[in-house]
Every structure is written in C-alpha cells, then in structure tokens.
Structure 1
C-alpha cells in the first residue's frame, strides 16, 4: 500500500518493528495485533479497508516475529507483548491526540488484545477479536505433554478456502514454518489462565468474529473465553464454512462489512 511508514520502537526484549498505514484526516486509530508465526505485513488488505473507513492504522511485529528482534516465535511472557503493543498505542496517540482507539486482534493477537483490554481499562473505544486464542484451547497442553514438540507447521489449507492465501503464506519468508516452541506453549497456557481470571471488560463494545470451520482455534473453546471476557456489550458473527483467517477468507467482503458496520455504531456514540 502506498504511503506505508515504518517505525522502530525499543520493546521489552529488543527492537520492535511497527507499520503505519496513514489516513487523510483520520477520525480514529486502529491497532492491529497479528497472530502466531506471522507478521503485520500480512494485514495490508484489512489495513486498506480501515484506512478507507477513516482510521490511521498501526501494527507491530511481536517479539520473535516478522522484522522484530528475538528468537523466532519464542514468547516467554505475553505480558511483555501487551506492554509492547501499549507502546505502539502511545506512538499512535502522540500522532493523533484525542482520537478514539480501536483494537483488532487475530488468533494469538486476540489473546494479546483481550489481555490489553484487561490491563488498560478505558483506553479502547472498541475491541475486535477474530478467531481468538481465548478460553479453552487445548493445543498447547496437548503438545506440552509430549517429550518432544513435533515439527508440524501450520497447514496453509487451514487458513482460508482461498488457495492463493495458502500459497502466499507458504512462500512468505517472514512467516515461521517450523515447530512450536516449548516456552511459547507454556506462556500460552499461563496467559489463557490469566485472561480467564482477569475479569470482564465492562461496557467496552466487543465484536467477535469466527469461522465455524476453524480447525486451528475451534469455535466452542473460544466461545467460553469470549463470554467470560465480555461485559455484556457483545456483537457476535459466526461465518458458516469459514476457516481461521477471516480477513483472508473467500467471504472477506462480508467480514469487512460487519467490521466497519460495528465500528460505525461504536464511533457514532
């Protein structure tokens, strides 16, 4: 996307790479929080939708991901990632003082975004969770029970019904294509418990979007986490047949329309 800007912040565990997609005379700020093994550069299309909707969009590469420092896909403590995302929010607020801030977290980024909302009440105008790792996600417990983590990368076909998405994912050098790592799995287990016990987000408007054929983060487990997190101001959109990456799915125009409609309702208040 033309006009994308690059920033570098000093994070909790080294340099953090940040992308900014500017908007002309923005009315709000949108913070994108990416998922496990990927990076913010995969969010060009959703960033374009949001800038077209009047948002100045920012997204960082988490530690161990993308262009940021750290051993690949090692996150020893998700609280550090939340702190890094907060630094991105501060960067955005300094550039756009007084504008409402919305956060969109996908998959692992949904876990980070949920924890952010718990740690920083009152800072967000809206929270959007896409296929979030929250609630009862059994994968890390199952892998940790093994003596050795199997070298089984994410299947590109599990991401979207659009074959081009899987092809691009498999060819992306900034995507991690190796096994999950034990410190990250342990951090997932701890943070799932922390979020589950961290209380709800009160009146914060929450949009939850999920595919009912999500094989990476199954719908029923996420539902328990979302319902615990929500303070009652919940909008839910479940898409039949959709897989994990809703912003890259074959029905993404529908998903984007639901997203912008939700933001319109929130920001009009």
Structure 2
C-alpha cells in the first residue's frame, strides 16, 4: 500500500453537484463494500483513522463530503457553483445517498453492500432505508449501521421554539444561521475536541432548510417511517449512554419499533457522541464491533467483485 490509504475523486452527482469522494480499497478482492455518510458540519477527513481498519479486513469503503459540507462545499477549485456551506435539504441528502450507493457499486455489483452513517448521517441512513421510494436501491443493501444517529436531540428544542425556524425555512431556506456544537460533548479526548474547533472544514453554521429538515427527519423516523423498515434488512445501532448531543433513548425506541428479523442496539456505557474518537480503547472497540458485524452478515461464499 502507499502512504495514503485512500484514493480521491471528484464525481458528478445529483443537481449538477460535484462531490469530493474517497475510496479505501483492499489489496485483495473486496469481500464487502461500505458506503459511509458523515455527520453535521463535519467532513470525511475526520475519519482517516477509522477506515484503514476496514480496508485491512478486506472491505472497500466509499465515502464523500456531503452536499453543503467539507470540500464539496468549500473547495475553491472543484466545488459546484451552487454549493455553499450548510446548504442542503432532506430531499437532497436522500437522493445524494441513493447516488452514492450506486456510484460506489459500479464494477462491484456482486459484492455485499452495507450503508453506514454517523449522527446526522446516521439519521439519514435510517430514514433512507425506511422510504419506499428508494426501495430499488435499498434492496441492494445487506445491512445498515448507524452510530449515534440523530433521531432526536438528547435535550430537544421546544416545539414552540422550533416552529418559527420551520416556517422561516420555507420563506428563506438558504438563510445561514449559527449552529454550534459544544466540542467538549463530542468525546472524552480533549485533544480531539480541540482539533475539531481548529478544523478549517468545520464551520458552525448551516441554512435554515438544512437544520429544519434534519430535525423533521428525526421526527418522521419515529412517527411513521419506521413502519416501512424492510423486515429482511439487518441493522446495527451503536450509541453512547452519556451522549448529550443525540438521544440514545431515541435509538432504543427506533429499534423497539421496527419490525426487523435482525436488529441490534449496542450501548457503550459512559460513551459520548463520537464513539469513533473516544479514548481508552473505546474507538477500537467500536470499529471492531462494526467490522465484525459486517463480516457476520456476509454469505458463506462471497461472490468475486468485477473490478
């Protein structure tokens, strides 16, 4: 392998948007494919310590800076004309997720495909798999993983306070407002939290439409979308019990509500929001659990990829 464990590409996606993408490719024929969606106001560069382990276990990883975030929104040379930081919507994110799966599977149709997301991305993948309009793409998935998914906030904003923002999102959808996330609530690792605050691709702002849709999507997941979860689609949710950003109780409620033959909620006692950045062996435990879960859901004889 080269010193850089991934390859980079700029790919044309929905609504004339060019996406910054990375692929972690094993040296041997991949036994599985993982498509990953990152969280709110962050980017895939924050996962450089996570995905080499997947690659080394023979799993190809395709991931991207989502619409409105990271280099997709900020790269001066490659970003699309209409792109700006925090500018996205639930509809756009769902279609982008569908596109990402299809793009990742090019030349890998015979490889079992898994969809994973963290925080905002976790809520996105749970919603995506529950929406009948995406069934043709969802049917290609062998499983879904969500870490600390944003279904509900741990301390939800009052509906009375949310209502004006929701109304304004229809009038001024692209109006940008502050959207801070307290860094010390992310992990128990002070250095990691400090790096988050200094990261030039982390900007604590987003559009009204982005924020309103993100919370509305979580409401819809628990109110109605869970009913459409495919019974045959396995799901793993990992959540820290001490997450003060997204609610572990909401994850538990979702798991209880869906009718799925293979579902698991893994609670990390005392874990904060970013389990993949937690010290003292927690991040290693999370990475191992997720990889092992994927491996346990592979057919006994995985087809060879057409590369």
TM over 0.5: yes
Partner of 2:124: 112
1:265 shift after superposition:
1.2
Distance 2:259 2:242 in 1: 23
Asked whether the 8 Å contact 2:151–2:215 carries over to 1, the reply is no
1:236 shift after superposition:
1.8
Partner of 1:237: 266
Aligned with 1:101 (options 98, 109, 113): 113
Partner of 1:246: 275
Partner of 1:21: 24
Partner of 2:84: 71
In structure 2, do the counterparts of structure 1 residues 230 and 36 end up closer, same or farther at CA, with 3 Å as the change threshold?
Answer: farther
In structure 2, do the counterparts of structure 1 residues 219 and 67 end up closer, same or farther at CA, with 3 Å as the change threshold?
Answer: same
Partner of 2:184: 157
How many residues are treated as equivalent by the alignment?
Answer: 267
In structure 2, do the counterparts of structure 1 residues 140 and 185 end up closer, same or farther at CA, with 3 Å as the change threshold?
Answer: farther
Asked whether the 8 Å contact 1:100–1:124 carries over to 2, the reply is yes
Q: TM-score, normalised by structure 2?
A: 0.79
Secondary structure at the counterpart of residue 173 of structure 1: coil
In structure 2, do the counterparts of structure 1 residues 221 and 39 end up closer, same or farther at CA, with 3 Å as the change threshold?
Answer: same
1:206 shift after superposition:
0.8
1:261 shift after superposition:
2.0
Q: Quick check: 1:81 aligned with 2:88?
A: no
In structure 2, do the counterparts of structure 1 residues 72 and 4 end up closer, same or farther at CA, with 3 Å as the change threshold?
Answer: same
Unaligned runs of 5+ in 1: none
Q: Pairwise CA RMSD of aligned residues?
A: 2.4
Distance 2:293 2:199 in 1: 31
Q: TM-score, normalised by structure 1?
A: 0.90
Partner of 2:76: none
Asked whether the 8 Å contact 2:237–2:251 carries over to 1, the reply is no
Q: Quick check: 1:91 aligned with 2:117?
A: no
Larger Rg: 2
